[in-house]
Structure 1
Amino acid sequence: MLNDMSENQAGYAFAWNTPKSAINPYLDPPDPVQKSALREVIALYAADNRRHQKPGESLRNAVWDRYFFNADRDPVLREIAQDKLTGQARMARERQRFNPEQTVMDDIHAQPAWIARPLLQRIAFLKNLSRPGPCQRYLCATVRPCLDRLTRVRDDQTGPSIRQMAGHPGLEGLLVLSDMNQNQVKRLSALVAAHMAGRLESACSLLPLDNDVQPEAIRRVWEQLAAEVMRLEVIPPAFEQLKRKRHRRRPVSYDRIPGSLARMICTTWWYRRLWQRRCEWREEQLRAVCLVSRKTSPYISREMALYKREQRRKSLEFFRAHELINEHGDRLEMEAVVRASTSHPVRRRNEMMACLKGLELIAEMRGDRAIFYTLTCPSRFHATLSHGQPNPMWAGTTVRQSSEYLVGVFAAFRKAMHKAGLRWYGIRVAEPHHDGTVHWHLLCFMPPGDCSAITALLRRFAIKEDRQELGKVTEPRFKANAIDSRKGTPTGYIAKYISKNIDGRGLGKHISKETGTSLRDSAEHVTSWASLHRIQQFRFFGIPGRQAWRELRLLAGQVNRQHNGRKAGAPVLADRRLDAVLAAADAGCFATYISRQGGVLVPRRQYLVRTAYELSDVQNKYGDRSRRIYGIWSPLTKERICTHSFKWKRVRKTSGGQISPGRGHLFTPWTRGNNCPHGEKINAHHRIRVQRKEEETIKDFKNEHK
C-alpha cells in the first residue's frame, strides 16, 4: 500500500494534486448525523403534520369518488365492467356445458364447511369406486337439485322482516345465523338486546314525566316493543295475556308487562331464542341437501345428534356436581333426584305402560273397542324419498310445520266429532319418518257402534288436503287397524312404539323397515329429534290428568313413611271418596284411579282430585313469581293438601362435604323435591301431622328411595 502511494505521488509535485475519487451517495456510507434538540422538534412537527393530512386526503378522495368520479356514470368503465361480467358468464356457461360436474363441485366448495364436508366425503367415496357412473349421477341427480333447494330454504328463513331487522347497525349477523357458533350467537344476542333497549327507551320518552301514568299508556309502550320483537319472528313473552282481543274473557294482566319488558331487553333471553333458531335453521338446511335420511343419518343430522349427546353428558356432570339441601339441613344427591323422577327414561316408560294398562282395563269393563290409527303428512312435507333422493314435491316446509299440520287436522276432526256426538279416549304418539317429518300413531278406545263413523270421519280429514296425489289408495296418508284380542292386547300392540320413542328397551333385535337399523340404536336419534324440534311425543286424551296421579302417589308415600304402624286400608283423608282415589293411586292401579275420579270422557271440572298450584315466594331476575305445584285439592272439601312442604336449594358439592362458598348458597329455591324426606309436614286440616324423627339419618332416607 505504501509503495503504491509513493508511485502515485511520484508523478505529482505535491500530494494535494493527486486526483480524488468520485462521490457516490448510493455506495458511500452517509456521514453520521449529529442529534440535537432542534432536529428532534422538527421531526415531531413533520410527523404530526403528516398525520393530520391523511384524514383530509382520504376525505377528499372519498368525496371525489362519490360525487365527481362515479364508475357507474362513466360509460367507458361501465362498458368494461359489463364486458367482464359477460365474459365470466359465457365462460361459466361453456364450462357447465362441457364439464357440469365441475360446476357442481365449485358450488359445493362455496358452501359452509358443515354442509360441504359431508357432501365431499360422499363424493370421495363414490370416486374411489371402479366406475365413474355413480359419482356423476350423484352430482347431477342429487347434489344439483339439493343446492337449488338449499337456496330456497335460506330465502324462506331470512324473510323480509328478518332482512329489514338486519339493516340496523350491528344486526347483519341475522342473515348468517345458521353459520354462527355459540360465542358468535352470544354477541349477536347482546346486540339484539341493546337494539330492543334503545327502542324501549325511545318509546318511554313519549310518556309523561309525572307519576300519573296510566296502565294503558304502558301497554302501548309494550305493544311497540312487541311489534319490534315479532319482526324477528319471535313471540313476545305474555303475548296472549296482553294482546288486544275483540272478545276478552278475562281482564288484561297489566302486572305481566314489567316481566315481559325485562325479558325482551335481556341478553340471556335472546340467546336462548336465537340459539334455538340457529339449530333449527341449520337442521332444515341439512334436510334440504338430503343429509337427514335413511341413507345418511335417520331422523336427525349427525352434527345435531352429537350436539345433543354432548348436551346430555354436560347435564349429567352438572347433576353429579350439585346436591339439594332444605332448611332442616337434609341433603339429597341431585343425580338421585333426577333418576327418581319421571324424566328418567325407565320410570317414564314404566309409568306410561301402567297408564295404558289401566286404559285397557277400563275399555274392557265398558265394552269399548280399540283401533290403531296412523296419520301421515302430504308429500309436500317430506324432504327426502325413501331411497335417499330429493323429493320433487317438497315445498320447503319444516319439521315444525309438519307437526302443526297434524295438530290442525286433529283439532278440526275433534270439533266435527264432538258436533256429531261421538267420543273416544286413548293416547297419541308422535314419531319421525326417516327424513324427520312427523307422523302420528293413535290408540283409541270407543264404543263398537261408533267405530265406523269415527274412522270414516277421521279418514276424511286426514286425506282432505292434496287429495289428488293419493288417487284411490289412501294408505300412504291414513291407516286404521282394529285390535284383535285373539292376537294380542292393545297395550302389547303399542308397547313397541312407546319403547322406541324413549329408550328402545327390549327392541335390540327389531329392525326398522324404514331406516334398516335397530330400534334400540335409533332411540337416541328419536329423542334428540323431539328435543330439537320441540315435539310432544306422547299425549293422553279423554282421561283424568296424570299429574294428580303423581301427587297422590307422593302423598301416599309420605303418609306411609310417617305412619309405619298404620293399618292397611285405614282412612287417610277425611272424605271417603277422596280417600278411595288416594288408595287407588297408592296401589298403582290406574284403572281404579280413573273410575274413582269419575271415569273417562268426563269434563275436567267434574274430577274429584286436581293438581293445586301456587306462586313462588321468591321472584326471578325478571321480577316475576313463577307458578309451581303445591299439592292437590278437591272441589268437595275446597281445601288444599301440600305435598311439597320443604323448600330445596341447589348447591355445589365440595370434597369436604360442605356447601361451596361460591355461588351455591346464593341460589334461589330451584325445586321442592320430587321425593320429600321422612319428616314431611302435611296440612293440619287433614289430620296427618307427624313430628320429624331426629334419629332418622340421611343414609336411611336414601335407602328408602332405592
Structure 2
Amino acid sequence: MQDYYDKIGRFLPNKQIIRTPITAPISCKKMPHAISYNEVKLWQADPEDHEFRTKYLADLPDFLSSYFANKYIKLLQSQGRQAANSFLRHTLGGNIHARLNLVNQQYKTNKSSALSINFASEFAKLPTLTPHCINELSVEIAHYLEKHIQHLLDDRTFCLSANEIDAHSLEHKLYVAILVELKGINIDPPYFNDYKNGKLTNDNCVRALAKITNQEWWQKKLKTRRDYQHEHLAIAVGQVQKKASAYASRTCQSEWREQKRRNQKYLQKMAIENEQTGEQIPLDLQVYKSITNPAIRRVELMTRMRGFEDLADEMGYHGAFITLTAPSKYHSTYAKGGFVENWQGNNPRETQAYLCKIWSRIRAKLNREQIKFFGFRVAEPHHDGTPHWHILIFMRPEHLAQAFKIMWIYAMDEDSEEKGASINRFEFKDIDKQKGSATGYIAKYIAKNIDGYALDNEIDDQTGKNLKQTAKAISAWASRWKIRQFQQLGGAPVSVWRELRRLKNQKVANQIIDPILASADIGDWAAYTVHQGGPLVPRKDLKVRLAYEEKLNQYEEPFKKIKGIFAPIIGLASFICTRLINWKLVPKQKSTQDVDLKHRAKRSPWSSVNNCTPQDLSLKADHQITERQIIEQQLKIIGVPNDDLTINRLYLRQNIKINAKQYLKLDNQLNGVHLIISQAPVRTIKQQSDEVIEFEF
C-alpha cells in the first residue's frame, strides 16, 4: 500500500492527471547516407522496412518513386505497415515492374560506343532532367562529337584508308563513324533513311555532321525523348487513367500550362517588324488573329465541315459516322480500372501509327473498288492516352453497305478473336438527318479537342467530368505526343484557302482565280471547293495551287516557303504574290503603334493586283498618327474601351462587334475618318494600299 501511495497517490482528486501519448519506439538504425530524397521521406515515416522498400523503389526514376512513396506513407498512416508493404508487394513486385521493363527497353542505351559510356548516367536519368539540365547535356554531347570528328580528321590512317577506296568517301566514312556513336544511345542521325536505302550523298553527309555538332539540334532531340519517356513511364505505372489523371499525367498537364504561360510572356515582349519600313506590330496581336488562336481554329474547322455537308446534300451523298479503335494490347488500363494484362508497351504515337496504317489500307481498297468519299477525321485519346479515331465521311448511298464491309475487314484484321472486339473496335453509323446534321455529329468532338466551346453542361463519356474541363488535358496530350488531331479527307486544300483570304476584298482579272478568291473571301467553303474542282478532285487537277519560293536553311538544306498562288492551267503568268512584306522578329518597343516613318523607305505594294502612286512619306506618317488619335478620341466619346488592340483593329479597317446586331467600324469621309455603327460586319480596305498591314508571316 505504501508503494501505491509513493507512486500513484501523489495524484490527488483535485489535480488533473495528464496522460502522455504513446510514441513509436525510436529505431536504433542509422539512416544510410547515399539515399534519395524520397527514401529519406520513407525512412522518417518508417525506418524498419527500408531494406524491404529498396527492392522495389531503387530502380525507379525520382518522379515515379515519389508517386509510390506518397501512396505508401498515406497507407502507412491510415492502415499500418502491413497494408503499406502489401501495396508495394502487389504493385511494384508484380505487374508494374514488368510494364516498366517493357517501356525502358525502348529507350535503353548500351555500351557499344564511347558516347554511350561517357554519358550513361545522364541518359539513365533523362526522364527526370530539367530543361536547364537538358540544355547543358546537349552542349556537352555536341562538343564531344565535334572533338571526335576532329580527332578522326587528324588521324592520317583514317583519312588515307578512305581516299584509297574512293576520292569522295571520306564524308561517308565520317558519317558511319558517327552512326556507330549514336547507335549506343538509340538515336538515329540525320538522313538515316537515305543511308539505309543507299541514297546518301556527300552533301547530305556534311549537313548531317553539321547538325549533330549543333547544340540546338541536340536540345530538340533530347527534350523530345525526355518528354516521350517521362509520359510513357507514367502510362506504364497507371498515372494516366480515369482513376488518376485522364488523357495526360498531372506532370504533363502542368508542364503544358507552364509552357503556355512562357509562350504568352514571350509574345508580349516581341513584335514583328517590316524589314523595308521598320514598322512594328505586336506579336501577341498577330497570334491573336491567326489560326493558332483556338477559337479561330475551331470556327474554321466548323466552316469547312458545314461546307462539306452542304455539298453532300447537293450531290445526293449520305453521311456515315465511324469510330476506329486499336486492339486491347495497345491499351494500358481498363476504363473501370486495372491494368490490361496483354499491354505490349506501346505509346500513343505507336498506336496512332497503327490507326494510320489501317486507314491507308481501307482507303486503298475503297479506291480500287471505285468508292469515292470525302469528309473529316478527328483523333482523340481514351482515358489512358491511347488514341482512337472518329471519322465523318460522305459517299453515294449505294456504296455504304460495301464500304462498311471493307472497313470491318481491315479494322478487325488484327486480334479479331479477342473478347469484345466486334463491339469495341469498330462502329459504323448511318447519319439520320431527321435526328441531326452531320456537322452536329462531329461538332462536339471538334470543340472537345480544341477549347471546349459551348460544352459547359456536357459530360465526357471517358471520364465522367465536364467536357470543357477536359479540353486542356486533351490539348496537353496532343502537344506531348505530337499527334495530328484533325485531318481533312478529300476536297480542296485549306492552305490555298488561307492564302486567298490574305488578299481579302481584292478582285483579279483572271477568271479562274477570281471566283475561287471571292468564295474564300466570304468564307464559303462549299463554293470554294466547287470552284476548285469539287470535293473529289485529285490534287493534280486543282484550279488554284500554292506557289513556293525555294530557300536554304542554316544547314544549306533547301526548303520551300509559300510565296503566293497561281493557276496551273495558265502557268506562272497567273502568279499572285500574297507575301510581299518580309517580317522579322524583334523586341517590342514601348509603343509599336505610332512608328515614325519619316526617314524610312517606301513600302512595297500590298499585292500584285494593286497599283500605287508614290506619296510623300512625311505626310503619310502624319496622316497615320492623326487617324489613330482620332480613333482614340472618338472611342472615348462613345464609351468604348480605347485600348491598343481596339485602336489597331479599327485602324486596319476591321469591325468591332458591339452587340448581337451592331458593329463599329472606321469610315472614310470627305472631312476625314469617323467611327460609325453598322448593322452588318462589312469588310473594307484602306484606300491607300501601302498602309494595309498583314499580320501573318
Using the size of structure 1 for normalisation, the TM-score is 0.74
Alpha-carbon spacing, 1:182–1:482, altered in 2? closer, same or farther (3 Å): same
CA distance in 2, matches of 1:162, 1:483: 57
- How far residue 123 of structure 1 moved from its aligned partner, in angstroms, is 4.0
Give the residue type in structure 2 aligned to 1:681: W
- Aligned-pair identity in percent equals 28
> Which of 351, 360, 382 is residue 300 of structure 2 equivalent to?
351
CA distance in 1, matches of 2:452, 2:396: 32
CA distance in 2, matches of 1:338, 1:231: 41
> Which of 296, 303, 306 is residue 251 of structure 2 equivalent to?
303
The answer to whether structure 1 residue 653 and structure 2 residue 588 are counterparts is yes
- How far residue 466 of structure 1 moved from its aligned partner, in angstroms, is 1.3
Q: In the TM superposition, what whole-angstrom CA distance separates every residue of 1:414-448 from its partner, at most 9, and x where no partner exists?
A: 22222222222111111111111111111111111
Residue 678 of structure 1 contacts residue 701 of structure 1 at CA under 8 Å; is this kept in 2? Answer: no
- How far residue 509 of structure 1 moved from its aligned partner, in angstroms, is 1.2
Alpha-carbon spacing, 1:144–1:610, altered in 2? closer, same or farther (3 Å): same
2:477 is aligned to 529
The answer to whether structure 1 residue 178 and structure 2 residue 127 are counterparts is yes
1:312 is aligned to 260
CA distance in 2, matches of 1:382, 1:136: 28
1:88 is aligned to none
Alpha-carbon spacing, 1:554–1:604, altered in 2? closer, same or farther (3 Å): same
> Which of 154, 176, 195 is residue 243 of structure 1 equivalent to?
195
CA distance in 2, matches of 1:378, 1:181: 35
Alignment of 1:564-603 (within 5 A): 572-603=507-538
Alpha-carbon spacing, 1:275–1:504, altered in 2? closer, same or farther (3 Å): same
Alpha-carbon spacing, 1:658–1:702, altered in 2? closer, same or farther (3 Å): closer
Give the residue type in structure 1 aligned to 2:178: L
CA distance in 1, matches of 2:528, 2:587: 40
Q: In the TM superposition, what whole-angstrom CA distance separates every residue of 1:326-368 from its partner, at most 9, and x where no partner exists?
A: 1212221100001111011000000000000011011111111
CA distance in 1, matches of 2:177, 2:141: 16
CA distance in 2, matches of 1:171, 1:277: 15
2:45 is aligned to none
CA distance in 2, matches of 1:423, 1:103: 63
Q: In the TM superposition, what whole-angstrom CA distance separates every residue of 1:151-199 from its partner, at most 9, and x where no partner exists?
A: 4135413436576566433444223322322233223222322343244
- How far residue 322 of structure 1 moved from its aligned partner, in angstroms, is 0.7
1:427 is aligned to 376
1:631 is aligned to 564
Q: In the TM superposition, what whole-angstrom CA distance separates every residue of 1:504-559 from its partner, at most 9, and x where no partner exists?
A: 011111111221211111111111111111100001021111000000111134x3
Residue 272 of structure 2 contacts residue 281 of structure 2 at CA under 8 Å; is this kept in 1? Answer: yes
Residue 146 of structure 1 contacts residue 290 of structure 1 at CA under 8 Å; is this kept in 2? Answer: no
Alpha-carbon spacing, 1:105–1:311, altered in 2? closer, same or farther (3 Å): same
CA distance in 1, matches of 2:612, 2:558: 30
The answer to whether structure 1 residue 466 and structure 2 residue 393 are counterparts is no
CA distance in 1, matches of 2:192, 2:524: 41
1:330 is aligned to 279
Residue 166 of structure 1 contacts residue 173 of structure 1 at CA under 8 Å; is this kept in 2? Answer: no
The answer to whether structure 1 residue 380 and structure 2 residue 329 are counterparts is yes
1:159 is aligned to 108
Using the size of structure 2 for normalisation, the TM-score is 0.74
Alpha-carbon spacing, 1:226–1:167, altered in 2? closer, same or farther (3 Å): closer
CA distance in 2, matches of 1:121, 1:692: 72
- How far residue 641 of structure 1 moved from its aligned partner, in angstroms, is 1.4
CA distance in 1, matches of 2:111, 2:548: 39
Alignment of 1:170-569 (within 5 A): 170-201=119-150, 204=153, 206-207=158-159, 218-219=171-172, 221-226=174-179, 228-229=181-182, 231-239=184-192, 242-243=194-195, 245=197, 255-326=203-274, 327-470=276-419, 474-557=422-505, 559=506
Alpha-carbon spacing, 1:546–1:134, altered in 2? closer, same or farther (3 Å): farther
Residue 163 of structure 1 contacts residue 175 of structure 1 at CA under 8 Å; is this kept in 2? Answer: no
2:117 is aligned to 168
CA distance in 2, matches of 1:292, 1:441: 22
Alpha-carbon spacing, 1:447–1:112, altered in 2? closer, same or farther (3 Å): same
2:607 is aligned to 682
Give the residue type in structure 2 aligned to 1:503: D
3-state SS of 1:422 partner? coil
3-state SS of 1:363 partner? helix
Point out the more displaced range, 487-496 or 173-182: 173-182
Give the residue type in structure 1 aligned to 2:404: T
Give the residue type in structure 2 aligned to 1:397: N
Q: In the TM superposition, what whole-angstrom CA distance separates every residue of 1:454-487 from its partner, at most 9, and x where no partner exists?
A: 111111111111122136x512111111110000
Residue 512 of structure 2 contacts residue 567 of structure 2 at CA under 8 Å; is this kept in 1? Answer: no
Residue 113 of structure 2 contacts residue 180 of structure 2 at CA under 8 Å; is this kept in 1? Answer: no
1:604 is aligned to 539
1:118 is aligned to 67
Alpha-carbon spacing, 1:648–1:658, altered in 2? closer, same or farther (3 Å): same
Count residues in correspondence.
Answer: 566
Alpha-carbon spacing, 1:130–1:219, altered in 2? closer, same or farther (3 Å): closer
1:563 is aligned to none
CA distance in 1, matches of 2:592, 2:434: 59
Listed as ranges, the gaps of 5+ residues in structure 2 are 1-47, 595-601, 629-646, 657-697
Listed as ranges, the gaps of 5+ residues in structure 1 are 1-98, 560-571, 660-676
Residue 165 of structure 1 contacts residue 171 of structure 1 at CA under 8 Å; is this kept in 2? Answer: no
CA distance in 2, matches of 1:122, 1:597: 60
CA distance in 2, matches of 1:418, 1:282: 41
Point out the more displaced range, 161-170 or 528-537: 161-170
Q: In the TM superposition, what whole-angstrom CA distance separates every residue of 1:223-255 from its partner, at most 9, and x where no partner exists?
A: 543464455443433455x43647x8xxx7765
Residue 302 of structure 2 contacts residue 439 of structure 2 at CA under 8 Å; is this kept in 1? Answer: yes
